[in-house]
């Protein structure tokens, strides 16, 4: 249950003054449903109303607060003409202009003969200062309310700044006196304000510099948010570590046969990852490990060796892939590698129907099938294993934690949990690994397997298209296979497909049937047929949307052209490029871009030309785009931060992680005075789920 002290902050936003049902709905959809959501909606700018010159000295195009006497009202001579009010001070005149205004209302607001403060942007018109629709009109005694510095907040259509500012002020007034959850020596060392003072400070910036994420107040709040995140992950992790697993050791005979038949030797990174996984599987605790490896770093072999350990122990292993193309590819590759050990590898996707599907399910239920590879079809209720020991989840960011739990629950009842190995070829910056996968142990593969040649990356403007086509012709004539990736069009799959079809039509005129086409709207069987023809048959040039981003493996492909490369994120360009350079021949990636390039797009293309290291690219991507977009998928299960900015506050994340771990070592149930305060912090940042893992939660 949420602590009572926080009830005022988790009331509905419509309980705030000025937010009735209509405006309340706007705030709920743009900012959030609770009063607390307004606390994290931080100012994006300031308006300084302290400039208060005489009329003769007023500078044009500035926001000024002027003290004037109201002289005359000049109603419009015809409809649609402006209403004018003439005002003055001892040094000159001011014209105040209103459109679509009601005269009787303005006469009350600006009574002739009285003094008023008007604040707004001043422009010069026919040599005289003019103010159109002042932001404020006030009596002289109300000067203190008008002449200060105002916060400017991001808005949504239909919501004005004055209303939002008033609501934020009311939300701040509802913040109760909360106990200090910070580590006192650390707070003192950082010279940070207390939580409530920090909140007041971030909502009342005095200068542009006060808006920066490095101010002490912003850092304090970012740290609180990161501490809530790390504490929640540590609690979940501690809970999972308590769950018993199985001791899975195996005698190594199947693994030795497979390794002896490999056409390459394992890298140092692969050996280290295998040692970590073997130790986890052999322990009585449940394994939860993330295997991060760049494109082509050899994760599949590591996954297979782990699966063979389960088979050696008399159990079964399953690999869950996000798409059918990837599942089929894994099945073909793993079956080939596992053949020397005589292990059966089965494929299960949504396409297996009728008798074929029944036979596959029977093989899993009887235990005759040692390794199964599949899509979401593996998660269905009628898929029953005799003894599932290990689940491998590939491209974890395409799945939520929920699927990880579902596959993990398919083990035999009463024997302990299924060990889980999560793999991703999306190199994730270290800070994001900590915030999203803090509940997992992490192994990283940083080397490429021996024999891989580097990829040369070049950027060319779209005007060079014909030159690029000539280069592609030469490559095809020399026996190469070529990918041609069509541009992303504002998240619209339909337009993406149209762009790909158009390019395919153009290239077919030159290359005939050697040019194939795949996109996300093709039926599975048709997609597979074209991919198969590209991998082994008559198609040498594959025109494609980004469906080839993940997992397609054609070692003969040595050239890739990416059209409108400036529209793609860094990580996505790197993923696409990773489809070439998989054999022993040198490869080339050509990035076609539309001029002029924005600064960010220019940086992206430069970084790609300079490095092939996915982890370096991921860190750069984080700096360029911010954490929310780095994985390129909103549903990636990445936590969203309201105050913390991981590109700026990465060092605070490490401190929060250390603090959370140390704290739970000393007070695992959060029962002490600081522990009780931290429970409030978890609820405040809506990490309620973690509190359930405390015995007295």
pLDDT computed for residue 196 by the predictor: 97
Q: Is the pLDDT of residue 689 over 80?
A: no
pLDDT computed for residue 253 by the predictor: 95
For residue 154 the two structure tokens come to 């991001």
Distance separating alpha carbons of residues 410 and 402, to the nearest angstrom: 13
Distance separating alpha carbons of residues 217 and 197, to the nearest angstrom: 8
Same domain, 488 and 554: yes
Burial tier of 685 (Cβ tally within 10 Å: 0-12, 13-18, 19+):
buried
Beta strands in 545-634 (DSSP E): 557-562, 587-593
pLDDT computed for residue 650 by the predictor: 83
Which range among 370-379, 494-503, 622-631 shows the weakest confidence by mean pLDDT? 622-631
**Over the stretch 257-291, which tens digit does the pLDDT of each residue have?**
999 998 888 989 999 999 999 999 999 888 889 89
Which residue, 86, 118, 147, sits at the end of a domain?
A: 147
Measured CA distances, 26 to 19, 21, 196, 503 (Å): 9, 9, 27, 42
- The answer to whether residue 66 sits within a structural domain is yes
pLDDT computed for residue 468 by the predictor: 95
- The answer to whether residue 209 sits within a structural domain is no
Same domain, 410 and 496: no
Distance separating alpha carbons of residues 648 and 402, to the nearest angstrom: 30
pLDDT computed for residue 570 by the predictor: 84
* Alpha-carbon dihedral sign for residues 646, 652, 656, 657: positive
pLDDT computed for residue 408 by the predictor: 74
- The answer to whether residue 80 sits within a structural domain is yes
Mean pLDDT of the chain: 87
* CATH number (domain holding residue 475): 3.40.50.300
Confidence bin at 411 (pLDDT 50/70/90): confident
Q: What is the largest CA-CA distance in the chain?
A: 101
Percent of the chain at pLDDT exceeding 90: 55
**Over the stretch 285-336, which tens digit does the pLDDT of each residue have?**
888 898 988 767 788 999 999 999 999 999 999 999 988 888 988 998 899 9
Residues listed for the chain: 697
What residues have CB less than 8 Å from 41, skipping those under 6 apart? 31, 32, 153, 154, 168, 642
Cβ neighbours, 10 Å, residue 141: 8
CA angle 406, 408, 413 (to 5 degrees): 105
- Closest by Cα among 662, 654, 696 to 679: 696
Same domain, 542 and 478: yes
pLDDT computed for residue 324 by the predictor: 84
Note whether 181 and 674 are within 8 A (CB): yes
Q: Is the pLDDT of residue 629 over 60?
A: no
- Closest by Cα among 8, 39, 11 to 24: 11
pLDDT computed for residue 390 by the predictor: 95
Q: What is the mean pLDDT of residues 631-647?
A: 62
Measured CA distances, 687 to 9, 231, 232, 338 (Å): 15, 9, 6, 43
Note whether 481 and 534 are within 8 A (CB): yes
Same domain, 497 and 552: yes
Q: What is the mean pLDDT of residues 502-508?
A: 92
Distance separating alpha carbons of residues 591 and 609, to the nearest angstrom: 10
Beta partners for residue 72, in sequence order = 86
Cβ neighbours, 10 Å, residue 600: 13
Same domain, 390 and 468: no
pLDDT computed for residue 636 by the predictor: 40
Same domain, 437 and 465: no
- The answer to whether residue 270 sits within a structural domain is yes
Q: Is the pLDDT of residue 150 over 80?
A: yes
For residue 526 the two structure tokens come to 């048709």
Q: Is the pLDDT of residue 81 over 50?
A: yes
- Closest by Cα among 664, 672, 666 to 693: 664
* CATH number (domain holding residue 140): 2.40.50.140
The angle that helices 216-242 and 195-202 make with each other, rounded to 10 degrees, is: 130
Distance separating alpha carbons of residues 104 and 543, to the nearest angstrom: 68
Measured CA distances, 341 to 260, 402, 662 (Å): 10, 33, 46
Which range among 162-171, 274-283, 497-506 shows the weakest confidence by mean pLDDT? 497-506
Q: Which range of residues forms the domain containing residue 507?
A: 455-611
pTM, entire model:
0.67
Q: Is the pLDDT of residue 128 over 70?
A: yes
pLDDT computed for residue 628 by the predictor: 45
pLDDT computed for residue 222 by the predictor: 96
Same domain, 97 and 120: yes
- The answer to whether residue 497 sits within a structural domain is yes
Q: Is the pLDDT of residue 651 over 50?
A: yes
Same domain, 426 and 507: no
Q: Give the β-pairing of 316-320 and 345-348.
A: unpaired
What residues have CB less than 8 Å from 281, skipping those under 6 apart? 245, 248, 249, 287, 306, 309, 310, 390, 419
Which residue, 122, 147, 172, sits at the end of a domain?
A: 147
pLDDT computed for residue 631 by the predictor: 40
What residues have CB less than 8 Å from 482, skipping those under 6 apart? 472, 475, 476, 540, 541, 542, 557, 558, 559, 560, 561
What residues have CB less than 8 Å from 233, skipping those under 6 apart? 435, 438, 439, 660, 690
- Between 458 and 426, where is the model more confident? 458
- The answer to whether residue 605 sits within a structural domain is yes
Distance separating alpha carbons of residues 445 and 235, to the nearest angstrom: 27
**Over the stretch 196-236, which tens digit does the pLDDT of each residue have?**
999 999 999 999 999 999 999 999 999 999 999 999 888 88
pLDDT computed for residue 490 by the predictor: 52
pLDDT computed for residue 493 by the predictor: 59
Percent of the chain at pLDDT exceeding 70: 93
Confidence bin at 402 (pLDDT 50/70/90): low
pLDDT computed for residue 139 by the predictor: 93
Helix (H) or strand (E) holding 238: helix 216-242
Which residue, 147, 169, 186, sits at the end of a domain?
A: 147
| HSE value, Cβ hemisphere, 13 Å, CA-based, for 38 | 31
Q: Is the pLDDT of residue 668 over 60?
A: yes
Output DSSP code: residue 12. Answer: B
Distance separating alpha carbons of residues 416 and 414, to the nearest angstrom: 6
Number of separate domains in the chain: 3
Distance separating alpha carbons of residues 501 and 499, to the nearest angstrom: 6
Output DSSP code: residue 285. Answer: B
Confidence bin at 637 (pLDDT 50/70/90): very low
Same domain, 413 and 543: no
Same domain, 280 and 423: yes
Measured CA distances, 124 to 49, 62, 95, 119, 342 (Å): 19, 11, 10, 15, 87
Q: Give the β-pairing of 481-485 and 557-562.
A: parallel
Cβ neighbours, 10 Å, residue 572: 20
pLDDT computed for residue 78 by the predictor: 87
Highest-pLDDT range among 359-373, 527-541, 562-576: 359-373
- Tokens 């909606």 -> residue: 41
- The answer to whether residue 309 sits within a structural domain is yes
Q: What is the mean pLDDT of residues 381-399?
A: 85
Cβ neighbours, 10 Å, residue 63: 16
Measured CA distances, 162 to 21, 29, 101, 147 (Å): 17, 19, 19, 15
pLDDT computed for residue 632 by the predictor: 38
Same domain, 110 and 258: no
pLDDT computed for residue 572 by the predictor: 82
Q: Which long-range contacts (CB under 8 A, 24 or more apart) does 593-600 make?
A: 593/459, 593/460, 593/461, 593/462, 593/564, 593/565, 593/566, 594/461, 594/462, 594/564, 594/566, 595/461, 595/462, 595/463, 597/566, 598/566, 600/624, 600/625
- The answer to whether residue 624 sits within a structural domain is no
**Over the stretch 427-470, which tens digit does the pLDDT of each residue have?**
777 777 777 666 678 888 887 766 677 899 999 999 999 999 99
Distance separating alpha carbons of residues 404 and 387, to the nearest angstrom: 17
Note whether 444 and 293 are within 8 A (CB): yes
- Between 85 and 493, where is the model more confident? 85
Same domain, 429 and 518: no
Please tell me whether residue 92 adopts helix, strand or coil conformation.
strand
Q: What is the mean pLDDT of residues 486-507?
A: 75
For residue 61 the two structure tokens come to 């195009």
Q: Is the pLDDT of residue 664 over 80?
A: yes
Distance separating alpha carbons of residues 86 and 143, to the nearest angstrom: 21
């Amino acid at each position: 249950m949420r602590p009572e002290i926080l009830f005022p902050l988790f009331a509905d936003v419509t309980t705030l003054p000025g937010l009735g049902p209509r405006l309340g709905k706007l705030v709920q959809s743009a900012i959030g449903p609770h009063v607390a959501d307004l606390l994290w909606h931080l100012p994006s700018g300031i308006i300084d109303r302290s400039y208060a010159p005489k009329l003769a000295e007023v500078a044009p195009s500035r926001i000024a607060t002027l003290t004037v006497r109201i002289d005359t009202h000049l109603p419009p001579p015809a409809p649609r003409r402006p209403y004018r009010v003439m005002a003055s001070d001892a040094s000159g005149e001011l014209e105040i202009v209103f459109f679509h205004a009601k005269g009787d209302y303005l006469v009350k607001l600006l009574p002739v003969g009285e003094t008023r403060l008007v604040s707004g942007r001043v422009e010069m018109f026919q040599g005289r200062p003019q103010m159109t629709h002042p932001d404020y009109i006030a009596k002289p005694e109300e000067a203190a309310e008008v002449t200060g510095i105002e916060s400017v907040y991001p808005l949504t259509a239909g919501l004005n700044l004055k209303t939002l500012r008033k609501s934020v002020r009311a939300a701040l007034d509802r913040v109760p006196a909360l106990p200090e959850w910070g580590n006192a020596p650390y707070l003192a060392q950082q010279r940070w304000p207390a939580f409530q003072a920090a909140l007041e400070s971030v909502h009342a910036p005095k200068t542009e510099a006060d808006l920066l994420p490095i101010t002490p107040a912003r850092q304090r709040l970012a740290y609180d948010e990161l501490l809530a995140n790390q504490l929640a992950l540590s609690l979940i992790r501690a809970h999972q570590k308590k769950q018993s697993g199985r001791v899975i050791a195996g005698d190594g005979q199947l693994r030795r046969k497979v390794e002896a038949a490999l056409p390459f030797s394992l890298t140092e990174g692969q050996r280290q990852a295998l040692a970590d996984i073997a130790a986890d599987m052999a322990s009585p605790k449940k394994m939860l490990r993330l295997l991060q490896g760049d494109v082509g770093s050899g994760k599949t072999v590591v996954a297979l060796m782990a699966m063979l350990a389960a088979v050696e122990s008399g159990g079964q292993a399953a690999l869950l892939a996000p798409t059918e193309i990837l599942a089929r590819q894994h099945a073909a590759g793993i079956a080939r590698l596992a053949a020397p050990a005589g292990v059966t590898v089965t494929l299960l996707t949504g396409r297996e129907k009728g008798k074929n599907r029944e036979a596959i399910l029977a093989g899993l239920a009887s235990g005759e099938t040692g390794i199964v590879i599949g899509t979401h079809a593996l998660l269905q209720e009628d898929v029953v294993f005799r003894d599932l020991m290990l689940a491998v989840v590939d491209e974890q960011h395409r799945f939520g934690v929920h699927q990880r739990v579902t596959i993990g629950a398919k083990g035999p009842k009463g024997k302990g949990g299924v060990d889980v190995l999560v793999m991703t070829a999306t190199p994730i910056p270290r800070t994001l690994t900590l915030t999203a996968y803090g509940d997992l142990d992490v192994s990283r593969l940083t080397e490429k397997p021996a024999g891989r040649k580097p990829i040369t990356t070049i950027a060319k403007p779209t005007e060079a298209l014909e030159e690029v086509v000539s280069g592609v012709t030469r490559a095809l004539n020399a026996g190469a296979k070529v990918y041609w990736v069509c541009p992303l069009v504002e998240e619209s799959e339909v337009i993406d497909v149209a762009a790909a079809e158009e390019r395919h039509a153009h290239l077919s005129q030159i290359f005939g049937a050697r040019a194939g086409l795949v996109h996300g709207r093709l039926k599975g069987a048709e997609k597979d047929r074209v991919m198969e023809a590209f991998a082994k048959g008559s198609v040498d040039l594959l025109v494609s949307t980004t469906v080839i981003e993940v997992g397609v493996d054609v070692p003969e492909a040595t050239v890739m052209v990416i059209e409108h490369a400036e529209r793609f994120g860094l990580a996505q360009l790197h993923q696409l490029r990773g489809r070439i350079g998989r054999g022993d021949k040198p490869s080339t990636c050509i990035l076609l871009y539309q001029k002029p390039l924005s600064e960010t797009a220019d940086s992206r293309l430069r970084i790609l030309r300079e490095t092939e290291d996915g982890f370096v690219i991921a860190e750069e991507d984080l700096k360029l785009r911010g954490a929310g977009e780095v994985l390129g998928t909103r549903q990636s299960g990445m936590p969203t931060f309201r105050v913390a900015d991981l590109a700026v506050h990465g060092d605070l994340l490490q401190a929060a992680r250390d603090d959370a771990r140390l704290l739970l070592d000393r007070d695992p149930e959060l029962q002490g005075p600081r522990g009780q305060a931290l429970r409030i912090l978890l609820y405040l940042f809506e990490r309620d789920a973690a509190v359930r893992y405390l015995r007295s939660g």
